[in-house]
Amino acid sequence: MTSNPAKNSQARRPIVSQAILAKIFHWLNIISLLLMITSGLQIYNANPVFGGRGGWQFPPLFLLGGWLAGGRHWHFAAMWLFGINLLWYGLYIFITRRWQKRFVSSKDLKALQKGQNPKRKAYAWHRLIYTVIIPVLLLAILSGFGMYKPAQFHWIVDMFGDWQALRVVHFITVPIVILFAIAHSLLALKVGGSRLIESMLW
> Among the three residues 96, 122, 151, which one is the final residue of a domain in this structure?
96
The pTM is what? 0.79
Number of residues that make up the chain: 202
Q: How far is it, in rounded angstroms, from Cα 130 to Cα 134?
A: 7
In this structure, the answer to whether residues 69 and 87 fall within a common structural domain is yes
Domain that holds residue 195: 103-202
pLDDT tens-place values along the chain, 202 residues long: 444 544 444 444 455 567 788 888 889 999 999 999 999 999 999 888 887 777 788 999 999 999 999 999 999 999 999 999 989 888 888 888 877 777 888 888 998 888 888 888 888 898 898 899 989 999 999 999 999 899 999 999 999 999 999 999 999 999 999 999 898 888 888 877 777 777 777 7
In this structure, the answer to whether residues 86 and 157 fall within a common structural domain is no
CA torsion 144-148-149-153 (nearest 10°) is 0
- H helix intervals, 149-162: 154-159
Q: How far is it, in rounded angstroms, from Cα 41 to Cα 19?
A: 33
In this structure, the answer to whether residues 90 and 132 fall within a common structural domain is no
- H helix intervals, 96-105: 99-102
Cβ–Cβ < 8 Å for 127, 103: yes
